[in-house]
Structure 1
Amino acid sequence: MGPKHKMGALSLMIVFLISRNIFSAPTVELKKRTVTFKACNLCHLKKNKRFVPASRKLEREHAHISSQHGGQVLSCNHCHDINRHNFLRSTQEAPATFENPSFVCKRCHIEAYKNWEHNIHGRRSGGWNLDQIQYHCMDCHEAHSVTFKKMKALPPPQKPHD
């Protein structure tokens, strides 16, 4: 390769590296979730750690919860950390928090999670020049009843009259 070709290749490489940084996708932030409860340990340190829904009734604080997850009735401890009650179970070493619960879903829904990471399943907001925000699984799916509630379809749009 002659000196002209080397300079051309070097120039092309520099242009590529600069344009890659200019036109790369913006950083995507996870939507901030606000959680109103953080004191699970206050009660759960005093009670049985394991809970099987079919074996006994829920305490009054959780009486409204019925975990129907894809036709299965799951134990609370399927998603909630049995030893650290202020956290959720995770696939990572660090426990999942209620503010960032999507790691919990990854344990069973690996394909949907991979698609969520690549914005195939799920939702992001923000345009090409705005800050992008990625929503969590639980922003669309109710944690204890993940199937969407039935909705009545709206009528189709009407053609405008001249």
Structure 2
Amino acid sequence: MKTCSLTQAGRAAAFACALSCLSFAAAPARAALGDTAAVPAGAAQRVVGGGAGRVVSYVDDDGTTINEYVGIATGTVIAYTWQGPAQPNVETLLGRYAVDWRNAAAALHAAGRDGLHAARVEGAQVVVETAGHMRAYMGRAWLPAALPAGVSVGDLQ
């Protein structure tokens, strides 16, 4: 068995960290819930809620289709939906609302009310629904207080 010194192990860890940082830097920036939306080039768009919102659709690197819902009046992201072979990084999509989601999910787990294949987590400011199994994931996350008049939860598909 070959051994390595702590210096060699530290260098290897630093290299792996630098490599992973480069891969994140290469990914296009996306807005999180509540942030000002940035429409990626070539993204498909459609209108919802009688013109109160628009949906920008794109496919991420894992092949998952992500729909970003934007309030027309505010220009901010009010919701996300996703469907595909991999779960997106929900914490990234939630941005500053991730802490609210984690706290509500921990409370559900402590109460024994969390599910294996599907969950609905209602935080103080954000609602997140996830479902699926290997290679078939779907979900949605939204800010109930930010939904403009004319856009309902049913529009978030």
Name the TM-score class by shorter chain. Answer: under 0.3
- Which of these two proteins has the greater Rg computed from alpha carbons? 1
Considering fraction of residues, name the structure with more strand: 2
TM-score by length of 1: 0.27
TM-score by length of 2: 0.27
Q: Which has the higher contact order (CA 8 A, sep 6+)?
A: 1
